[in-house]
Structure 1
């Protein structure tokens, strides 16, 4: 049965964040809010988390996981950035964008794209997600909480708790986060290619 944390959307209670992060450090898989919609998240070195996300969402090994980072310095440890990407991504973050970039050796091989060795990264403009990754001290390995066959991501924390009670270890509820996922920009070839238009303004990368 999943733990349920009801947190303030703009000023999350430190005790709840600390308890959720303690669960993450103990190999937990959580559902948590971002600036676009709810997501599933676990530690980067979780032995079971990535497979549990794949199982819940029915994903194959070509799915791009996203590393949700606290800030640009942390993001830079996990992906390779040329000068153009550095400037453009720094100007767009924090925000509702996911960037696909070549992974550094800090990213476990099993989590990067099997052929391209790429990974998604993002810095959410959301106080709860920010508090989680700051307290954890490392990125959260994440994927949008979009269930198989569903047209839109889940938006209600209590509904997530009821639906995924035996599939996740904790649900962090910060109210309705909407259904629009991030705008995805593939920068792995050295130029921006918008592969999904979502909550972030895609025009700046057009």
Structure 2
């Protein structure tokens, strides 16, 4: 391959009657594909992302695609979703059973293919979810593309009882996509591995409920759309401390050695988890107060 420093771009090679075509940047290639411009991320996300951009620790992950010892792929993506082409290799990894970290509209999440039993087992090991705790506090939830995904893997939202509860479903539609996790009764379509965990001799209760989300995050939604399937997820916390890990660089340092396959860096997040609402009964019950309370007002 000719050295780019010795060839004049757009000129001629000395001694040869051959014109050297001008190099085009990827952005100059014509494309028939167009994507709707997503809304800009909240200012606090952009400011915090810029604040850590030049930190020495972050510089080692500064390449668009970075492979660390052990095979950790690190991709930096614009929070607005302007460079969604960078997400293509992440989608391919997920299809192959990879376990990785992506941003959501709240905190970062460890995700994998919902239909891959081996990937789900690896996710549990990476997150250190013990069999005895797998059925408590709903550690795994589904990141969905739309209400159709929710209808597929759950029995759906309560439709009311004729006594003032008929507006629940309309309120849910108004709030989604958004920072909510709704606990619903799982359908037969949901793989058992998403609800049960343990050895054949271990004592564990089969969960009949599962948390579902439709995140309002450009990066997360693009990954789900490109994958054309929902993902199983669990929020990212410190391995020893029960605190959210909000900086993807800190996540790489903590979970890279645990066997994580990839991280999508969408900037530093704010410690605002989703609001968790149990909708397995006629009257919704708030399990965890999170980022917003609009549904309850």
TM-score (structure 1 length as normaliser): 0.92
Are 2:153 and 1:78 aligned? yes
More strand by share: 1
Are 2:225 and 1:134 aligned? yes
Are 2:251 and 1:160 aligned? yes
Q: Where has structure 1 moved over 6 Å in runs of 4 or more?
A: none
- In structure 1, C-alpha distance between the alignment counterparts of 2:120 and 2:207, rounded to whole Å: 18
Is 2:98–2:112's contact at 8 Å kept on the other side of the alignment?
yes
Is 2:126–2:260's contact at 8 Å kept on the other side of the alignment?
no
- In structure 1, C-alpha distance between the alignment counterparts of 2:231 and 2:134, rounded to whole Å: 18
* Greater C-alpha Rg: 2
1:54-99 deviations in whole A, cap 9, x for unaligned? 2233322214211001122222211112324532321211111100
Quote the RMSD (CA, aligned, Å). Answer: 1.8
- In the alignment, which residue of structure 1 is the partner of 2:180? 97
Q: What is the total number of aligned residue pairs between the two structures?
A: 205
- In the alignment, which residue of structure 2 is the partner of 1:180? 272
Is 2:239–2:254's contact at 8 Å kept on the other side of the alignment?
no
The structural deviation recorded for 1:157 is 1.4
Higher relative contact order (CA 8 A, sep 6+): 1
Is 1:66–1:122's contact at 8 Å kept on the other side of the alignment?
yes
Is 1:28–1:42's contact at 8 Å kept on the other side of the alignment?
yes
Are 2:141 and 1:66 aligned? yes
- In structure 1, C-alpha distance between the alignment counterparts of 2:295 and 2:85, rounded to whole Å: 38
Which is further off, 134-143 or 12-21? 12-21
- What are the ranges of 5 or more consecutive residues in structure 2 without an aligned counterpart? 1-70, 161-167, 197-204
The structural deviation recorded for 1:164 is 1.7
TM-score (structure 2 length as normaliser): 0.65
Is 1:57–1:147's contact at 8 Å kept on the other side of the alignment?
no
- In structure 2, C-alpha distance between the alignment counterparts of 1:138 and 1:86, rounded to whole Å: 23
